Amino acid sequence: MKMREDIRPVTYLKSRAADLLDQLNKTHRPVVITQNGEARAVIQDAESYERTKTAIGFLKLLVQGEEDIRSGKLYDQDEMFNRIARKLNQPKVTRTNEARYCGPRSV
């Protein structure tokens, strides 16, 4: 974070919004908006926001998977593929001598 560029008072936002948007889209760094010397908001460009949302979604899935592993909610590989095949109305799939864990039971 560059203090001079990435922290701005609300008056700067009010008077130079277009310049601030240009900065956001150029640097892809969030900008902290202050009011009376206190941080009140954070603004970021749309592309960075979308990337952040996607990353958070993946992290939530990882946490859910880790919780399932800790609680023993697991399927072996054959069972997982057969569940998927049933959902897709496909014939059974058999795998041998491969990794036995394929994911959380919530699939």
Please tell me the distance from the alpha carbon of residue 64 to that of residue 66, in angstroms, as a whole number.
5
How much is the pLDDT for 103?
59
CA 34 remoteness from chain centre? 26
How much is the pLDDT for 59?
97
How much is the pLDDT for 94?
65
Average pLDDT over residues 6-21: 96
How much is the pLDDT for 2?
77
Residue 82 contacts residue 92 (beta carbons within 8 Å): yes
Please tell me the distance from the alpha carbon of residue 74 to that of residue 84, in angstroms, as a whole number.
14
pTM of the predicted structure, to 2 decimals: 0.61
How much is the pLDDT for 89?
82
**The 3-state secondary structure of 39-98, one letter per residue:** EEEEECCHHHHHHHHHHHHHHHHHHHHHHHHHCCCEEEHHHHHHHHHHHCCCCCCCCCCC
Please tell me the distance from the alpha carbon of residue 85 to that of residue 60, in angstroms, as a whole number.
26
pLDDT in tens, 18-61: 999 999 999 999 999 999 999 999 999 999 999 999 999 999 99
pLDDT in tens, 62-103: 999 999 999 999 888 998 888 888 889 866 666 665 555 555
